[in-house]
Amino acid sequence: MKSFHSKEKGFGIIYDDIFLLNGARTPFGKLCGTLGSISPTDLGIFACRAAIDKSGISPNDIDQIMMANIGQSSYDAYFLPRHVGLYAGVPQTIPAVLLQRICGSGFETMTAGADQITLGKADVALCGGTENMTLAPTVSFGNRNGYALGRVEFKDFLWEALNDTAAVPMGCTAENIAKQYGITRLETDEYGMLSVDRAIAATQRGFLKEEIVPLNSIIFEAEGLKPRKVSLPKKVTDFVTDENIRSSSLDIMSKLPTTFEKDGVQTAANSSGIVDGAASAVIAGKNFISARNLNPLTRVVASATSALDPKVMGLGPVPAIRLLLEMTGLTIGEIGLIEINEAFAAQFIGCERELGLDRNICNVNGGAIAYGHPLAASGLRLSLTLSREMNIRKVKYGIASACIGGGQGNAMLFENINL
């Protein structure tokens, strides 16, 4: 283990023998779609149960549970990490914790899990992120204190959450990047179209089947606890559809109005979709892997987290990836595959230009513009998709990264040990 900390560059760590065993995710449901009424807790249970199963281990093997959820959107939200663990079959004696670094929270669960293993506090960590953005509440804060006559105020918590009150709304940060790099509307539409085309191709060739767990109505049970009944819409069985993916064309995209600025570049078609879903992964140390003769997807080499001006928060992956490379002594040319969460097309293009990336190895199965961005789950989805594709393409190194609301970025380096 080797750690790094700089007030200018960020902080990070190189791990000794931490491995990503496997993982799974739910399909991502569109806003007000098939998953719109399913608690984020239940979505997390689906994903975590499947991740444990795909990893070839028992729930009894889990030592720590690291969960992420950003928009609390169910009445039992306070108990989310604990309930996910209990109904995923993990023993009652295993504690659970909730982590939050907004869009980078999925990565944060894996970093925290790897840290626990490194510190000797665990051999195996269950990492998960879950989000139901449809269920984001309409809120009125302060009613307990009373209100003046005619001054009852309710707001859409989801919409308000997209506005960084210290700087500018999230979409405007992408417009700032577009201005800084001279990115045009055509370029953002072309990139949005590429993301959609790649996601459709990945779906059609069956790539996603290995990571998506089919969802059905079910009753989750745990010994001695009340059952949890999960009901999908009537007649929905084996739901595996990423509902935000839909075919389009540049002509159609070009006719859409801009969302954040009158003469801007970002539209609903070249920005990440608002979706519901969960993802999970299991990470473990070398001794556990060897004792069980398991075959991990990848080795978790290192992680890095950085921060920058909130007004250009979408560039967050740039300092994080640079720090990752500096710590490990690798060059960007040695990285065979890269996943950068597509919060906005202009945001990705800005990172691409700043880092000198080859688009042919970036987000090769499409990204959040196509699939959607369930905040807490995205880092786990990116890591799982990347690790699987690294094995398919026989790539040695891959990086997954995300920008983070408020002006942060994190990144993780994975190594293919199956070459």
Which DSSP string corresponds to 89-126? T--TTS-EEEE--GGGHHHHHHHHHHHHHHTTS-SEEE
pLDDT at 87: 98
Report how far Cα 162 is from the mean position of its chain's Cα atoms: 16
Smallest Cα–Cα separation from 102: which of 366, 365, 314? Answer: 314
pLDDT, tens digit, 9 for 90 and up, residues 242-251: 999 999 999 9
Cα 339 to Cα 324: distance, rounded to the nearest angstrom: 14
pLDDT at 151: 87
pLDDT at 148: 87
Beta strands in 167-222 (DSSP E): 218-220
- Which secondary-structure segment (H or E) carries 84? helix 80-87
User: What residues form DSSP beta bridges with 364?
Assistant: none
Smallest Cα–Cα separation from 130: which of 113, 114, 109? Answer: 109
> Does domain 18-137+212-240+273-292 bear CATH number 3.30.420.10?
no
Show the low-confidence residues of the chain (pLDDT under 50).
Answer: none
**DSSP-assigned letter for residue 79:** G
pLDDT at 90: 98
* Two structure tokens written together for 31: 């806003």
User: What residues form DSSP beta bridges with 400?
Assistant: 339, 412
pTM over 0.85: yes
pLDDT at 150: 85
- How high is the mean pLDDT of the chain? 97
Smallest Cα–Cα separation from 339: which of 370, 293, 294? Answer: 370
| Residue 335 · residue 415 · CB < 8 Å | no
**DSSP-assigned letter for residue 232:** P
User: What residues form DSSP beta bridges with 304?
Assistant: 12, 411
Catalytic residues: 103, 403
* Two structure tokens written together for 49: 């149960």
pLDDT at 143: 87
* Two structure tokens written together for 77: 């939200």
